Each structure stands twice: as structure tokens, then as C-alpha cells.
Structure 1
Amino acid sequence: MRIAFFIRNRRISFFLIIFLVLVTCRNGTPEIKKADPILFELKASLGSLSQIWYPRTMDTIEGGFYPDFNYRWELEGEQTKMLVTQARHLWTASSLYAYYKDTSYLKMAKHGFEYLITKMWDTNHGGFHTFLKPVEGIYTPQGSTKSTYANAFAIYGLANYYKVSGDTAALNLAKKTFQWIDQKAYDPLYKGYFDVLQLDGTNMLLLEENDKDYDNWIRRNWKDQNSSIHLMEAFSALYGVWPDKHLGERLTELQLLIRDTITSSKGYLYLHLERDWTPVILKDSSETYRQENFALDHVSFGHDVETGFLLLEASHAIELQHDSITPVKAKKMIDHGIDKGWDLKLGGFFDGGYYLDDSDECTILNRAKIWWTQAEGLNALMLMASLYPEEKRYRRLFEAQWSYIKKELMDQTYGGWYGEGVEGNEQIRLEPKAHIWKVNYHNIRALINTIEMLEGTYVLVPEK
């Protein structure tokens, strides 16, 4: 039997695929014998992960995708439809269709697109609603602000869906979303974009009191790395299918801001910055205040290694063939994540650290190994191993990262990934497998990318 049949049949379990692959390799062709053994594991894992998420997550009653599942993959929770969650499912289903050429994924992607265009787009003020919550059985927009970050993911999903489907309605909506973001959230004075907007899209620069209980009030006039990197990610995807001049200018501008301003001299991202790009740094605040506001200022190793990849992706999208600076800075970001955030004892990347003084010591403040950070670490390590094969530590760490993911993140009983590495904490095994912030685009993207890197077909790695 052909290996491809088993790998691409989503009904075959992960372990059965591995067994069949190994048996076939022992009796197969010379070409298969030469293949990287991790490649088979990655393909099997991708098939298993795809099977556990789809079509289980499809909401065939209300539309879109269910976000909340318990550790057994049973529906459990309030099932709030968040734009980020829905858009990520659209991106993932489209990517799985591109990989497998299985039309069931294209149908799921269309299902996701229809929910975005008919339910989540704000027909009064433009832009997408962030949340739709069930109120007395009817999904209703909730929240007091709109999010540029969330709308960026809509662009990301729509562009990918158009790429595989050719549906011009999806492209037109992606264009419309970009134009809405650029009109409402762009800062003409200092460049870049604000994330937090009023419901009608107006920025919050002139507001002095939180008289309407605005979400994210403290961030109303700041900029941040998270919305910036995902706007760059979205603009890269959209530019790939719509090479508009103005979009290209905004993408280039964002890439340079992230690379040269949001990234510190040490190689990590400032999480939040004031309007004029002055970093928000809480080092001189009390320890209690820093702990209470950890989300505002720390070293996020997952975002750093992910951004190294996204910077290179942006350069590729806008065809900066002679860009000698971005590869150096992207490598520095990933190296910083390895040098400061890698667990030398167990493997995997810690969640967050902090430079408490002016020394070169980064103190780890959150030792959790969050699932999406490990996925982005896997992707970044294989990318560095492919671009710099002479530096053997990248391949060695990639293998260690994959071993960590298999041992500490993969649920061999119910399937899917845990929210963080177990490492002896059995309670983690009982936590939800999916919620609005735990979808699948990070790990499925990492698996597809690393498979293509090992097969020598990945677009960011030049042919040798």
C-alpha cells in the first residue's frame, strides 16, 4: 500500500500511521529509506491533529466553528464566537486543503468564510466585531471596542481562503478590511497602528476617562508588538494574492518598525510602546506592580521566535532580495530565544522572562511551556537549521523540541495538544483542549512548514 494513503487518511490513528510507515520503510524503495525519520512522524502527527479538530469543531447549526471543548473533546463551555478563533479556523482549513487536496477541507473553509461575511462583519460601521456571544439563544455582538489585532486575523484567513478557492468575494472582503484598518487605526504622525478602537472605528486618543467601560483602556493610545506582528503576517498573506502598491508600502513600513524599533538591541520584542514608540518598561516599578502587570512588560520568547520567522516571510512577500539586514536580525531574535528562554534540563521554551537590571541576565519569571510557543519554536528551529545547516545546534535543538512536544504536549489518550507541557503536573491533562485562545493555526502551520522544509519545498529556504 502507498504510504501517502495512510498519512492522508484522517481516520487512521497516529500510532497506526507510525507503525505502517516504519514497516513500509523497511521494505520500501531506496528513496524512502533515505528519508528523514522525523518527516514521517511530522506527517503522521499532522494527520492525527487534523482528524481530531475537523469536522468536530464545525457548528452546522449557528455557523462558524465551536471554540470550547473539554479534555475529552466534548463540547463544554459558553461557545462565544471570537473573531480571532473563527479566522484562524478559516486559515487552517484552507491550509489543510492546500496540503492534502481534500475537498472536505475546502468545504469547511467555505463554511468559515460564510460565517465571517454574514455574521461577524459590522454592516453599520465596518470592520469585524470581536465577539459574538449567545444571549437567550441568539448570537449577539458583545464588547465596547474593536480590535485591529483581531481584524488582522480576518485578513489572514480571508487571503488564504481566496488563495485556495479563487472566491473573489473573500478577496474583496480582505481588501475592505485592510482599507478599514488603514483608515481607522493608522497613525499618520508616528506610523504604525493602534489596536484598541471605539466600536465605530474611531481611535481613542482624545478620550480622557473610561466613561463607557471601554475594553483594554490602559492600551487605548499605545502600540504593541502583538497587533503589529500579526498585521505584518496578514499584510504578507494579502500582498501575496493582491500586490497593491499601497499595501506593499504599509507592509514594508511595518516590517521596518518591527525589526528596527519594536525589537530591542538584545533581540527581544518590547511588548507595548507609547504612541511615539517609547517602550513601556516597568523595571523601576515595584515587584508587586510588575507581577500584577506581567502582560504589559516582559520578554515573550514565543513571540520573539515567531517574529523572526514572520520578518523573513514579510521580506519574501515584498521581494526584498537584497535585504541583508532582516536575516541577521531575525536570526538574532531566534538566537536570543534559544540562549535566554530554552530549558537546558527538559527542553522547550519558557513562556516569559525579564531583564531586572542592565546586565545580560534574563530571569525566567514564567516557566510554563505554553503550547503555541512550542509550535513556533519548532518552526523557527527548523527554519534556522535549513537556512544555516553549518550551525549544527539548530538541528539538534529542533530534534529536542520535537521530542519535548511528543512527550509533554501530545495527548496519547484523547488526541490533540495540552495547553502547556505536563512535566508531572497531571492537572494539565484535565484542562480544556480548545477555547477561544487555543485553536490550531500555530501547531498545524508549524507541522506543515517543517514537513516542507524537510522535503526541500519550503518557499523561505532557497534551493542549494
Structure 2
Amino acid sequence: MGFDYQWSKIFRNGIWLVVLIMVIGGCRDQGAEAGEETGSRQQRIAAEIDSVLNDQYQLWYPRVVDREHGGFFSRFTYDWRPEGVQDKFIVTQARHVWSTSKIAFRDERHRDFEKYGEHGFRFLREVMWDREHGGFYNMVTHKGEVITGDDGQIRKQLYGNAFAIYGLAAYYQVSEDREALRLAQKAFQWLERGAYDREYGGYFNSLTREGQPYEEDFPKDYNSSIHMLEALAELHLVWPDSLLRDRLYEMFRIVRDTIVTDKGYMNLYFRKDWSPVVYSDSSRSLQEEMQATDHITFGHDIETAFLLLEAAHSLEFDADSTLKKAKKMVDHTIDHAWDEKEGGIYDYGYYFQGDDSLTVTQTSKEWWSQVEALHSLLIMADYFPGDPRRYFGHFIRQWAYIKKYMLDHEHGGWYRSGIDEEPEERTAPKATVWKGNYHTIRGLLRSRELLEQMSQSSHSE
């Protein structure tokens, strides 16, 4: 169930793997030795990824574990020294629960990581859960004291509560601790009572302490929605409740059919009725002025292609019903965000009024975008093996880019963004409340699994 179930579904069609392996047999990746067989190459890259994963495990744990106050530390320098105020953000805390639980679930060599998942779960339950009003606090101090907003009010977010559900479901999957499942269920039910929109569907982003939405110009957005989709899919795998399934299906349809455009990218912000906040028909000057609200975020697009397929499998839908849209999202990212010279994908872009093509407006290459692209490209290579240079070839170049520009070979870990575009990132913090390891752990675990399955199929021929 869970991880195994999802990937067995994704790779259920063995004949595609055979065709893929036959087609890409002559394709050479950068650095591959002459005459290297396809299965051997896949094994080699899988081994490289495994090495990077183990580097991740050793760098983060137990270094980030706060044994005095509970939860996980948040901020470390470029050379992995704790730095500054260690406030604890619900998103960071929940992602550590997810990461350590998945490591324990997927890798027998690291089954002991379950204890870190338990450590994080207890912090979520005892400190970050609001015992009076329900829901998870957004931020607490390193000692667990609730941090209020500038107006003195305690605010809560759909985004953070979604990640709490996501992490708790993963911890329950490995531990079978019923208390963790009950807390995930309570969080889902708390959102159902206040954050769920019974008129137009979906969920509101910003909530009062009691869980009611408060007035905003744009009360719904893509980022909270895709991660709520992700959380519901994870919870549904371990708790097949009928109301949960209804909400999962609804969010699946909202993301796939409303948030994702016909061109294969997502609109970002929405009004209550899910009408998008876009400036496509406005002047170029207004479009440039409103870039913070309306732009194309390539990393989220290629990530959401995977999340849609994952949700479809959690719902036990045939992937074919969603595959066309997921492929379009990956294709749009490759076609418009790919750096042909160095590899990697850029951050932002926009279709400006009067231009014939998309313009890249932010050339940084965020760490999370690069690793999400890695495993999304492998998934597409499985489903569409007819052109190996399109997906598997881009995967090879993407891994080469990551090794060259994203991995810190001196101090370990990942730079926040590629040093080809931002060399100053060599001395930027390795961890912050927004820079954890959930994206890298997830993308590398799944890429390693895909490659191992491809290699095994290749050697069995």
C-alpha cells in the first residue's frame, strides 16, 4: 500500500519498459563510458543517487533533532552550523515527519529513522496542535511558544495544515500508530468545518485561529491547492474514508481542470468562485507590474504533473485520464524553461502581450524545481518511450546539471539554487524554515526506484 502501490501502478505496463530500454540503448549520457549497456547505466545512476541520499540522511539527522524542546531545528549555515533564531514552522516540522517516515518505510537499512518520525509526530501533537480550537499553529518559538501575526492575532494556514496531514499519514504508514492517524483525521475534519468552501468547492487559504476564512482579495491559490491535493491523496491511501475520497476527487478535478490551463501551466491566484487572477489581456507595463501575482512557475508545473498522477492512483483511476494533461505540463516546462546550454530549469516566465513566445523572467534554478523535474522526467520516459531524447535524455542532462551545480561537494547538501546562475549561493544557508529536505528526499527516492526497476527489466531481457 502507499509508496509500493503507487509505483507498481505507474509501472504496471511492462511492455513499455521493454520498448523504452530497446529504444534508448544507443543513447549516451554525459560521462557514460563508451559501450556502457543501458541496464548498467541505469544501475550506475541509481547508485549515484543512492550515495547522494545517504549524504542527505547523515547531514540532516540527527543534526536537526531538537532533543531539549522537541521538533526539529530550522536554520543552518552553508557548512552546517546552527545559526540564528530557530523558530519552528509547521511546514518544516511536518515535512521532516514525512521525510523520515518515508526513509524508514522505503529503506530497510534506515528503518531506525522511524524514531525521528515519532519524535516529530509528538511535537506536532503536543506543541503545534491547538488544543482549544483545533488546527495547527503556523509558527512557534524554539521553546514552543505560539508566535502571533503583526496584528497580535493567531493565524492559521491551509498550506501548513495540509503538510501536517501529509506527514502524519506517512508516519502512520510506517508505524501503524493509531494516534498519528487520529490526529490526521482531526486536522482533516477541522478543515472540513471551516476552510472548506461549500458553495464553490475547494479550500480557503488563510484562516482565523478558530478555522474560519478571513477576507482576502484572492482567497484561493494554486500552491495551497496542490499541496492539499497531495495531503488528501496520502491520507486516502491509509484511510479510505468516503468523505475524504469525495474531497480528494474534488481537489483533483479543481487542480487538473481549473488551475492547470490548456497550455500546460497553472494560473496562480483565484477569487472565491475559482475565476483566475490574470492579466493576459492587459498592457505589458501592467503585466510586468503584476508579476508577483501572475506568472508561470515552471517548477510547480512539473511537480504538479506528478502530483496529479499520484492523486489519480490514490483514487484508483486509470492514469490515461490524466496523463494527457500531465504530459502537457512537463512538455511546456521543457519547451520554455530548459537551459539548453547548461541544463536545469528556470524559475519564472510569462507570455507578455504582443510577444510571440514566452519570456523567462527569473533565471534562478531553485533546488526543489530541479529535483522535482528529475523524477517527473523519468515518469514521462516510462509512459512515452518513443522519443528517448525527449524525456530520458533530459533526465540524464538534469542529473548531470544537479551534480555539477546543485550539490555542494565540499560541505555536503544542496545549494538553494544553481551556482551557474547564482554563484553567491555557495555561502547561503543550507537550511531555513523554507529550505528543508522533503523535495530532495522524495525526488531522489522515487528516481532511484524507477531506475532500479528499469535496470532489472533490462537485465531480464
TM norm structure 1: 0.85
1 CA distance for matches of 2:291 and 2:83?
Answer: 29
* 2:393 aligned residue (391, 396, 418): 396
| 1:68 alignment counterpart | 75
- Cα displacement string for residues 52-88 of structure 1 (whole angstroms, at most 9, x for unaligned residues): 1111110111110001001010000211100000000
| 2:137 alignment counterpart | 129
- For residues 54-65 of structure 1, the aligned pairs below 5 Å read 54-65=61-72
Q: What RMSD over aligned residues (CA atoms) do the two structures have, in Å?
A: 2.3
2 CA distance for matches of 1:339 and 1:116?
Answer: 41
1 CA distance for matches of 2:411 and 2:311?
Answer: 37
2 CA distance for matches of 1:228 and 1:51?
Answer: 32
| 1:154 alignment counterpart | 164
2 CA distance for matches of 1:200 and 1:457?
Answer: 49
Indicate the SS of the match to 1:454: helix
| 2:253 alignment counterpart | 256
- Cα displacement string for residues 408-434 of structure 1 (whole angstroms, at most 9, x for unaligned residues): 010001100000000164321010000
Confirm whether residue 90 of structure 1 aligns to residue 97 of structure 2. Answer: yes
1:41/1:343 Cα in 2 relative to 1: closer, same or farther (>3 Å)?
A: same
Confirm whether residue 141 of structure 1 aligns to residue 147 of structure 2. Answer: yes
- Cα displacement string for residues 258-285 of structure 1 (whole angstroms, at most 9, x for unaligned residues): 1111111111000111111111013456
Q: Which amino acid aligns with 1:94?
A: S
The alpha carbon displacement at 1:343 in A equals 1.1
* 1:239 aligned residue (229, 236, 239): 236
The alpha carbon displacement at 1:355 in A equals 1.0
8 A Cα contact 1:133 1:142, kept in partner: no
Q: Which amino acid aligns with 1:316?
A: H
2 CA distance for matches of 1:252 and 1:74?
Answer: 44
| 1:43 alignment counterpart | 50
- For residues 208-219 of structure 1, the aligned pairs below 5 Å read 217-219=216-218
8 A Cα contact 2:75 2:432, kept in partner: yes
8 A Cα contact 2:159 2:224, kept in partner: yes
The alpha carbon displacement at 1:294 in A equals 3.0
1:62/1:286 Cα in 2 relative to 1: closer, same or farther (>3 Å)?
A: farther
| 1:441 alignment counterpart | 438
Confirm whether residue 119 of structure 1 aligns to residue 116 of structure 2. Answer: no
1 CA distance for matches of 2:39 and 2:223?
Answer: 41
Q: Which one is further off, 441-450 or 382-391?
A: 382-391
More relative contact order, 1 or 2 (CA 8 Å, 6+ apart): 2
The alpha carbon displacement at 1:358 in A equals 6.6
Confirm whether residue 203 of structure 1 aligns to residue 209 of structure 2. Answer: no
Confirm whether residue 99 of structure 1 aligns to residue 106 of structure 2. Answer: yes
1 CA distance for matches of 2:239 and 2:104?
Answer: 21
8 A Cα contact 2:105 2:111, kept in partner: no
| 1:17 alignment counterpart | none
Q: Which amino acid aligns with 2:102?
A: S
Indicate the SS of the match to 1:140: coil
| 2:370 alignment counterpart | 374
1 CA distance for matches of 2:344 and 2:129?
Answer: 38
The alpha carbon displacement at 1:142 in A equals 2.7
The alpha carbon displacement at 1:37 in A equals 1.6
1:419/1:326 Cα in 2 relative to 1: closer, same or farther (>3 Å)?
A: same
| 1:9 alignment counterpart | none
1:100/1:270 Cα in 2 relative to 1: closer, same or farther (>3 Å)?
A: same
1 CA distance for matches of 2:434 and 2:320?
Answer: 35
| 1:280 alignment counterpart | 277
TM norm structure 2: 0.86
The alpha carbon displacement at 1:388 in A equals 1.6
Q: What is the aligned residue count?
A: 416
8 A Cα contact 2:127 2:144, kept in partner: no
8 A Cα contact 2:69 2:144, kept in partner: no
Indicate the SS of the match to 1:365: strand
- Cα displacement string for residues 359-393 of structure 1 (whole angstroms, at most 9, x for unaligned residues): 65111110000000101111111111122222212
Segments of 5+ residues of structure 2 without an aligned counterpart are 1-32, 456-460
2 CA distance for matches of 1:288 and 1:62?
Answer: 50
The alpha carbon displacement at 1:341 in A equals 1.1
Q: Which amino acid aligns with 1:92?
A: S
- For residues 298-309 of structure 1, the aligned pairs below 5 Å read 298-309=295-306
8 A Cα contact 2:283 2:353, kept in partner: no
Q: Which amino acid aligns with 2:400?
A: S
2 CA distance for matches of 1:94 and 1:138?
Answer: 23
Q: Which one is further off, 295-304 or 111-120?
A: 295-304
